[in-house]
Structure 1
Amino acid sequence: MASVPKLLLLLFLCSDHSLIAHAGDAHEYKVLSLDSMKSDAVCSENTVSAAPSSAGAATVPLHHRHGPCSPLTTKKMPTLKEMLRRDQLRAAYIQWKFSSGGATGKFSKGGAGDVEQSDAATVPTTLGTSLDTLEYVITVKLGSQAATQTMLIDTGSDVSWVQCKSCSQCHSQADPLFNPSSSRTYSPFSCSSSTCTQLGQEGNGCSTSSQCQYIVTYGDGSSTTGTYSSDTLALGSNTVKNFQFGCSQVESGFNDQTDGLMGLGGGPQSLASQTAGTFGTAFSYCLPPTSSSSGFLKLGAGTSGFVKTPMLRSSQVPTFYGVRLQAIRVGGRQLSIPASVFAAGAVMDSGTVITRLPRTAYSALSSAFKAGMRQYPRAPPNGILDTCFDFSGQRSVTIPSVVLVYSGGAVVNLVANGVILDSCLAFAGNSDDSSLGIIGNVQQRTFEVLYDVGGGAVGFRTGAC
């Protein structure tokens, strides 16, 4: 849930792994097992294969919010209709941030400069579905008492927060509320501190005791406010001292069981930015392929073994990480799409479910995909998904490959269930060609996605979880 709505997603994944190559497509067609799209009843902790990094790496598992591996108790799945409705809210909010209604930010190529990297911290990630969103959750320890906290991860948010004991308005959660008075290392920031000033528009003045207050309002109207503080954070076997986060006292609009949110955006408040001096300016994650398996989040990620594309950033909207598509291939053939169609760039987002493409690009993709699926009857649209098929009576289906070609030569051959969601093509079109694109998490599954902020690149490594 970036500074945006929370959206819910059914996880439809199969066990085949995506292929990445610098040129050429390995297969023109892929087989999708429809049985793999059914909910798994038993947790099977898969062995992740995070790319090599420096010694001392800590891996935090990541799980599906409603899957059998989830540490959360609520297993009720949302309807696809509701999931898509909330996904559209999130996408619209991100696009607004870059429009005249937002900060009129534009992407440009750039990195923060190389930072010497020491020990890496890796934490397991699990796919977690909160209220109306596909969210991935990690379990961390907070405070001197090492209180367990199950938190959403989001590359579209900067301020991290957890619900704190004695909150006047908070939602039910899986773990006990964090109790600041039980932690010897907990410390609220004063209103006069530079850290408080740095909050900018997410600052919310002072409490009666002159403690710094924060407020974050998301695109669906949900919000959290409380005291901006610091404490010790444990990520696997690694410890982060003086971790800055919000101690939430009043919130609204959250109906999941998570304890809070871990921001991984590009702003100074995010976990990635706070720990850059210790772990370096690169982090990565792998979103798990099924609801019964796990992925990982890694701080201090190694940067070799990936195909890479330049990272685009906006000084006015620093939270988001951008990339630029160059072409799309379907069934081994490159679509006839002018390069100028992709000029606005696209946000690489862990919280948006469905990839949004410029209208011209989506129309070409939809037409080519339908041509490659002539053997299956068409089905009515499902919300924002308008390229749908009737797979009644089928155990498996054969679909044309879909390959995303990024600037710089990174070629990403999507897994079959990174293409199909509930019998529909898992892409949607913007209303025009000028709006910002978004690369959603359906198209990221099973890849290790690298955010090399210092090196100014986004990378992809196949079959990482």
Structure 2
Amino acid sequence: MVSVKKLLLLVLCIYHSLPARAGDYKVLATGSQKAEAVCGEALVTPSSSSGATVQLSHRYGPCSPVASTDGPSIGELLRRDQLRAEYIERKFSSGNDELEQSAAVTVPTNLGEALDTLEYVITVGIGSPAVKQTMIIDTGSDVSWVQCKPCPVPPCHAPNGSLFDPAKSTTYVPFSCSSAACTQLGGDGNGCSRSQCQYIVRYGDGSNTTGTYGSDTLALAVTSTVSKFQFGCSHNEDGFDDQTDGLMGLGGDVESLVSQTAATYGKAFSYCLPATTSTPGFLTLGAPNSTSGFVTTPMLRSKTAPTFYRLLLEDIRVGGSPLGISPTVFTAGSVMDSGTVITRLPTRAYSALRSAFRARMTKYPKAPPLSPFDTCYDFTGLDNVTIPSVALVFGGGAVVDLDANGIILEDCLAFAGTSGLSLIGNVQQRTLEVLHNVGQSVFGFRSAAC
């Protein structure tokens, strides 16, 4: 007869030999397995066939349409990212005079060099005939702008020799100083010169762009155009050396592309940020034909900071198990931001995530921290590593399972703690189609979209 002790030992051996459930862990290809660029292949699958879709690329990767550069170091990128996070937090801080400033003329006022954390670009056409312009996308900005002639080089940099010349466009119209479009810029950042509306975007490090605020035809695709698209025509810049032509504002205020195209596309857009810099994603204006395949959660808006899109994070799952974080931790809501790199969580939530993640990563040696990351690993000599899954649980029960490339960045857990507002960064959004249905006040998430 088998003793109880031997039977217990047998049960324990069987238990520990069982494989983990597939959803509990993910396989991550390390730096030694760099993906081959597949920029020319049609890997993107937008959910809407009736909207306007353009290819989206990482600005520093091989799929980028602008001149190839190495970009900032990871340390510098994270430093700038922290500045952006602090700026957004201030926008929601009660009693702060910044809340009353127009987002249109402070895009973003105290961001400084953190503008360079914006990582994804699209190529569109502006004018008649259309001139190709490669523009950074930003859900945390409203006013769009491109470099225009005349603008001395320097300060304008004409990355592709493609400065937009409004004088050569048959559809360009500068706004008058008394026009409604000029008035809505608000604040003290807009002005008047020769009866034409002037805009200015200032940055905290002293860099700025100024010029004429007007409208022209915007070509998103061969068959998708936007007439009378409002944007800034930059004639003077200071402090920029970027290789892009300008910025496309996708924020929630009245000046953004999303608001301007509401009558056509229903004030809805979605994007998919690729897993790596070596593959493309997409940006689509318009809601999907069906929300089948999406998990949805309510969108929260703020009158004091109308640019930003918020949602309610309720819990986090690690390796399939909920952390059981108290709802009071997330009462301030979370901002979904394409320009913030990493996700920042309230300190209590981040501590719980870190502890659960570390407990499942004991087989890998630790590496020195990389500020603001404090949970890093040494994957030297490994082609693939197995990491615990991480899923975000939003209001209404929407569970969003993160891609492996949305969990680890530079061999570190790609999250950080904050004492203020939580932010969902673009690393955690990778491979998801993130739907912003502003008109219906709904966020949607569809997995493996690019």
TM-score when normalising by structure 1 = 0.85
Instruction: Tell me the distance in 2 between the aligned counterparts of 1:45 and 1:88.
Output: 35
Higher-Rg member (1/2):
2
Partner of 1:459: 444
Contact 1:131–1:254, Cα closer than 8 Å, also in 2: no
Q: Residue type matched to 2:61 in 1?
A: G
Q: Which has the higher contact order (CA 8 A, sep 6+)?
A: 1
1:96 and 2:61 are equivalent in the alignment: no
Contact 2:32–2:383, Cα closer than 8 Å, also in 1: no
Instruction: Tell me the distance in 2 between the aligned counterparts of 1:103 and 1:418.
Output: 32
Q: CA deviation at 1:254?
A: 2.2
More displaced, 181-190 or 389-398?
389-398
Partner of 2:430: 445
1:153 and 2:137 are equivalent in the alignment: yes
Partner of 2:75: 81
Partner of 1:186: 172
Partner of 1:33: 29
The CA deviation string for residues 174-228 of structure 1, in whole angstroms up to 9 with x for no partner, is 3410001001111110111111000012742111x11101111245543211110
1:414 and 2:402 are equivalent in the alignment: yes
Instruction: Tell me the distance in 2 between the aligned counterparts of 1:47 and 1:40.
Output: 13
Contact 1:329–1:335, Cα closer than 8 Å, also in 2: yes
Instruction: Tell me the distance in 2 between the aligned counterparts of 1:350 and 1:221.
Output: 24
The CA deviation string for residues 146-178 of structure 1, in whole angstroms up to 9 with x for no partner, is 111010111000000000011143234234100
Instruction: Tell me the distance in 1 between the aligned counterparts of 2:44 and 2:428.
Output: 18
Q: How do 1:215-294 and structure 2 match up within 5 A?
A: 215-218=200-203, 221-236=206-221, 237-294=223-280
Contact 1:354–1:439, Cα closer than 8 Å, also in 2: yes
Partner of 2:370: 382
Question: Counterpart of 1:91 in 2: which secondary structure?
Answer: helix
Structure 2 CA distance for partners of 1:51 and 1:96, relative to 1, 3 Å: same
Partner of 1:110: none
Match of 2:160 among 174, 180, 183: 174
Question: Counterpart of 1:32 in 2: which secondary structure?
Answer: strand
Contact 1:82–1:132, Cα closer than 8 Å, also in 2: no
Instruction: Tell me the distance in 2 between the aligned counterparts of 1:292 and 1:301.
Output: 27
Q: CA deviation at 1:250?
A: 1.5
Q: CA deviation at 1:278?
A: 1.3
The CA deviation string for residues 256-288 of structure 1, in whole angstroms up to 9 with x for no partner, is 110000000001000000000111121111112
Instruction: Tell me the distance in 1 between the aligned counterparts of 2:441 and 2:381.
Output: 48
Match of 1:424 among 409, 412, 425: 412
Contact 1:175–1:259, Cα closer than 8 Å, also in 2: no
Match of 1:330 among 300, 303, 318: 318
Instruction: Tell me the distance in 2 between the aligned counterparts of 1:218 and 1:307.
Output: 37
Instruction: Tell me the distance in 2 between the aligned counterparts of 1:214 and 1:443.
Output: 34
Contact 1:131–1:256, Cα closer than 8 Å, also in 2: no
1:369 and 2:361 are equivalent in the alignment: no
Partner of 2:62: 68
Which runs of 5 or more structure 2 residues have no equivalent in the other structure? 1-20, 101-113
Q: How do 1:292-311 and structure 2 match up within 5 A?
A: 292-302=278-288, 304-305=291-292, 306-311=294-299
Instruction: Tell me the distance in 1 between the aligned counterparts of 2:168 and 2:143.
Output: 23
Instruction: Tell me the distance in 2 between the aligned counterparts of 1:187 and 1:64.
Output: 32
Q: How do 1:115-130 and structure 2 match up within 5 A?
A: none
Structure 2 CA distance for partners of 1:328 and 1:454, relative to 1, 3 Å: same
User: Percent identity between the aligned chains?
Assistant: 64
Match of 2:332 among 340, 344, 349: 344
Instruction: Tell me the distance in 1 between the aligned counterparts of 2:354 and 2:84.
Output: 23
Q: How large is the Cα RMSD of the aligned pairs?
A: 1.9
The CA deviation string for residues 282-332 of structure 1, in whole angstroms up to 9 with x for no partner, is 111111222121111111121512211110100111000001100001111
Match of 1:48 among 44, 49, 52: 44
TM-score when normalising by structure 2 = 0.87
Contact 2:344–2:417, Cα closer than 8 Å, also in 1: yes
Structure 2 CA distance for partners of 1:317 and 1:233, relative to 1, 3 Å: same
Question: Counterpart of 1:277 in 2: which secondary structure?
Answer: helix
Contact 2:118–2:136, Cα closer than 8 Å, also in 1: no
Instruction: Tell me the distance in 2 between the aligned counterparts of 1:292 and 1:139.
Output: 17
Question: Counterpart of 1:451 in 2: which secondary structure?
Answer: strand
More displaced, 353-362 or 211-220?
211-220
Partner of 1:436: 421
Q: CA deviation at 1:40?
A: 4.0
